[in-house]
Structure 1
């Protein structure tokens, strides 16, 4: 199967983003313990009293789930026009689009620690001659409609001629979200072109 270089690069970029986030939560699940530790775990048995104690210390429902990540409406694309001709297709210098978003969570001690990522592209328009574009991307976390984390990142995207587009990836690591249980928590991502 023949694959053009752009498709291969995009697949590699998205695969790398997924692997980076997946690797953040592997921890000791993939081994790494000593032989005696592994044997002890294999032979461990729970007494009825230990099971009862574990049930009373069970984490709230939210603690076992990673909050969803969504692209904010209106933030899925950005457009830059020359000469103030907003909406004139021939004056479009560049546009940005978000292709993929992902997140990964670890729950511990009343905290959900999230790594969140975005992958997208910047494409030159008919009037575009830029070799570098800044993509302003905002990550935010809301609990019951209230922002508990919000950070804007300016991502430099180099567009090397003769290419008319370039991809970007951003991963934000170790964002801690306190939880009580029963809250609605949502992770948002999108372009933020406000000053």
Structure 2
């Protein structure tokens, strides 16, 4: 035997009222409502011009397979030594390290448009006293082993004493890559210390 409290009765009555009201408002959604209008929509066929207009106004699709971004082997760090003492850790003035790389893509009209970025750090060495260092960062894109984009950027990095390191970020927007489907596309990033 269950005993109903006034609160239980009120909640049951509210739930029943909500169910009845919901049923009244769903007629058009589940087949009720204006039959002539429903038949008109069911029999509608878009014209070729309407399809073309809809396609031209469609939002670009996010690429299902955005090209990988990789740090080029050997370019994940850079070192600057004083007095020509390359490799002598006691003479190191500063070093740069790439921490992370990322990208995102949009596909539209036979192009993959890529935004790509990298984060890293400059750290002063035992002989380092710089307040500013230029980090030379290169982004490149290869399609089937052939370079189709390559650009070097100088990223100024300010180091404020007493800190001995500083972070940097570089982002490149809207690099357009022709895309037919099936190509092997790789995005490369790294330090490029060549003059």
Q: Same fold (TM over 0.5)?
A: yes
Q: Superposition pairs for residues 34-113 of structure 1, below 5 Å?
A: 64-113=64-113
Alignment-derived partner of residue 130 in structure 2: 130
Cα displacement string for residues 3-49 of structure 1 (whole angstroms, at most 9, x for unaligned residues): xxxxxxxxxxxxxxxxxxxxxxxxxxxxxxxxxxxxxxxxx99x9xx
Alignment RMSD, CA only? Answer: 2.4
Alignment-derived partner of residue 6 in structure 1: none
Q: 1:146 & 1:92 partners in 2: Cα distance? A: 36
Structure with a larger share of its residues in helix: 1
Q: CA deviation at 1:180?
A: 1.4
- How many residues of Structure 1 are paired with residues of Structure 2 in the alignment? 142
- Higher radius of gyration, 1 or 2: 2
Alignment-derived partner of residue 26 in structure 1: none
Cα displacement string for residues 100-143 of structure 1 (whole angstroms, at most 9, x for unaligned residues): 10000000010000000000000000000000000000000000
Query: After TM superposition, where is structure 1 displaced by more than 4 Å over at least 4 residues in a row?
Result: none
* Structure 2 gap ranges (5+): 1-40, 45-50, 52-62
Q: Superposition pairs for residues 114-153 of structure 1, below 5 Å?
A: 114-153=114-153
Q: CA deviation at 1:64?
A: 2.6
Q: 2:104 & 2:182 partners in 1: Cα distance? A: 20
Q: Superposition pairs for residues 21-40 of structure 1, below 5 Å?
A: none
The DSSP-based 3-state class of the residue aligned with 1:83 is coil
Cα displacement string for residues 135-183 of structure 1 (whole angstroms, at most 9, x for unaligned residues): 0000000001100000000000000000000000000000000011111
* Structure 1 gap ranges (5+): 1-43, 48-52, 54-62
TM-score (norm 1): 0.68
Q: 1:181 & 1:121 partners in 2: Cα distance? A: 36
Alignment-derived partner of residue 173 in structure 1: 173
Alignment-derived partner of residue 160 in structure 1: 160
